[in-house]
Amino acid sequence: MARVTLDTLRKEFDRGTVVAVDDLDLEIDDGEFVTVVGPSGCGKTTTLRMVAGLEEPTSGTVHFDDEDVTDIHAKERPVAMVFQNYALYPHKTVRENMAFGLKMSTDMTTSERHERVREMAEMMGIEDLLDDKPDELSGGQKQRVALGRAIAREPEVFLFDEPLSNLDAKLRTEMRAEIQKLQKEFGVTAMYVTHDQEEAMTMGDRLAILRDGELQQVGEPTEVYQNPVNEFVAGFIGSPSMNFVDVDVVTDGTGATIRSDEAGLELALSAEYVRGHDLETGRYTLGVRPENIVVDESPSGDETLRSTVEVVEPIGSDNYVHLAVTEDFLARSPAEVKPEAGDEVGVSFSEDQIHLFDAKTGEDVFLTDEEIAAAVV
């Protein structure tokens, strides 16, 4: 299979007024599964289409192993693509749909093609559907056909463009697992595009996070979750999202205090923390994840701040406790912590669980320039 390397890949539209992909560097190892994730319009599909050969880059290159494929036509690239809308021919049967791709891209004989289609259909659990037309199939069955058709071509690179968006939640979960199993079984290098951070977290060996065409961070899901390089990644990855509060940090030679008068927040930082992080007095954005916040229904006086409960949303295993700290502040508490709306509660988190971002650039202030550069390679 192939290692895929994107080198300063750029795509401009409308005579340069729209920069869809902004000098993107990304390497996907042979057999690796990389999920490209970001909000709508950040350049995910354009990137994928340049890898497929369906979109011509404005500048930069695409390599499969050591071969520069930038100018090679889509049909000549060893890739298979799976789309959200399945892209099946409506007048052809499942068998014909699956065989057609093989006819166009291989020199297999008719009987070889039919044998391959039968094998793939069996593997995808759709052998009983081979004589059906697409409009007789459910969304999940259509996507299985599209996957079977793609894998039958034995591509070196598998490209997925939001393939599960049209399916219901349960089927989506099932198909996520199935796609990962297939990808590992065949050892195909895969690039998977989604706007859904939850999907991105559950799939893929690594995530590549894009914003406005620019790569923000590449890393394993847990790495990105625990050590986001900037406020954007911190807020985008994780559900419910990280909470943010504008704060002042005042160092006093040994320790330091984080304060926000607006949120009524005061958190003393230890001397080790201040020394270890080389923390300076200034304005920051504090980030804390909902699951790292402790809500105390009987405030003791030792809490980080006090707040009023706005809404409590039970989700079964836990409660989402919405608090009036900032406009959108949420704690994830165990099910037994269930205050009422309007209650005053204690809210605590510790220095080990916070992130501090530069108030101007949004960068995690504890990362060096080298660490930030390493996070996007």
Which residue from 185, 168, 199 is spatially nearest to 124, judged by alpha carbons? Answer: 185
Of 42 and 175, the one with the shorter C-beta distance to ligand ATP is: 42
Of 38 and 228, the one with the shorter C-beta distance to ligand ATP is: 38
Q: From the CB of 212, what's the least distance to ligand ATP, in Å?
A: 8
109: which residues sit within 8 A by CB, 6+ positions away? none
Which residue from 111, 106, 110, 107 is spatially nearest to 154, judged by alpha carbons? Answer: 106
Q: From the CB of 92, what's the least distance to ligand ATP, in Å?
A: 27
Q: Which residue in the set 4, 9, 20, 129 belongs to the binding site for ligand ATP (CB under 6 A)?
A: 20
Q: Which residue in the set 4, 10, 43, 141 belongs to the binding site for ligand ATP (CB under 6 A)?
A: 43
Q: From the CB of 192, what's the least distance to ligand ATP, in Å?
A: 12
Of 13 and 89, the one with the shorter C-beta distance to ligand ATP is: 13
DSSP letter assigned to residue 316: S
Candidates 43-51, 93-101, 232-240, 342-350: pick the segment binding ligand ATP (CB under 6 A): 43-51
Describe the crossing of helices 139-152 and 94-105 by its angle, rounded to 10 degrees. Answer: 30
Q: From the CB of 200, what's the least distance to ligand ATP, in Å?
A: 12
Dist CA 159 CA 339 (whole Å): 47
DSSP letter assigned to residue 156: S
Of how many residues is the chain composed? 377
Of 20 and 321, the one with the shorter C-beta distance to ligand ATP is: 20
Of 42 and 247, the one with the shorter C-beta distance to ligand ATP is: 42
Is 14 a binding residue for ligand ATP by CB under 6 A? The answer is yes
Is 41 a binding residue for ligand ATP by CB under 6 A? The answer is yes
Dist CA 259 CA 262 (whole Å): 9
212: which residues sit within 8 A by CB, 6+ positions away? 19, 22, 42, 43
262: which residues sit within 8 A by CB, 6+ positions away? 246, 326
Q: From the CB of 37, what's the least distance to ligand ATP, in Å?
A: 9
Q: Which residue in the set 1, 10, 35, 44 belongs to the binding site for ligand ATP (CB under 6 A)?
A: 44
Q: From the CB of 41, what's the least distance to ligand ATP, in Å?
A: 4
Helices (H) and strands (E) in the chain, counts: 10, 20
Dist CA 305 CA 333 (whole Å): 16
* CB-count burial class (<10 Å; 0-12, 13-18, 19+) for 6: buried
How many residues of this chain interact with ligand ATP, rule: CB under 6 A?
13
Is 159 a binding residue for ligand ATP by CB under 6 A? The answer is no
Dist CA 226 CA 245 (whole Å): 18
Is 42 a binding residue for ligand ATP by CB under 6 A? The answer is yes
Of 232 and 329, the one with the shorter C-beta distance to ligand ATP is: 232
Dist CA 95 CA 118 (whole Å): 8
What does the per-residue mask of binding to ligand ATP show for 190-209, with x meaning CB under 6 A?
A: -----x--------------
DSSP H or E segment with residue 197: helix 197-202
Q: From the CB of 195, what's the least distance to ligand ATP, in Å?
A: 5
Candidates 44-52, 131-139, 248-256, 358-366: pick the segment binding ligand ATP (CB under 6 A): 44-52
Q: From the CB of 327, what's the least distance to ligand ATP, in Å?
A: 26
* 321, 308 contact by CB (below 8 A): no
Q: From the CB of 19, what's the least distance to ligand ATP, in Å?
A: 8
Candidates 33-41, 75-83, 222-230, 298-306: pick the segment binding ligand ATP (CB under 6 A): 33-41
Is 15 a binding residue for ligand ATP by CB under 6 A? The answer is no
Two structure tokens written together for 201? 């977290």
Candidates 10-18, 92-100, 152-160, 229-237: pick the segment binding ligand ATP (CB under 6 A): 10-18
Dihedral, 229, 231, 234, 236 alpha carbons, nearest 10? -120
Q: Which residue in the set 8, 18, 68, 91 belongs to the binding site for ligand ATP (CB under 6 A)?
A: 18
* 96, 131 contact by CB (below 8 A): no
Q: Which residue in the set 4, 6, 26, 46 belongs to the binding site for ligand ATP (CB under 6 A)?
A: 46
Interaction site with ligand ATP (CB under 6 A):
13-14, 18, 20, 38, 40-46, 195
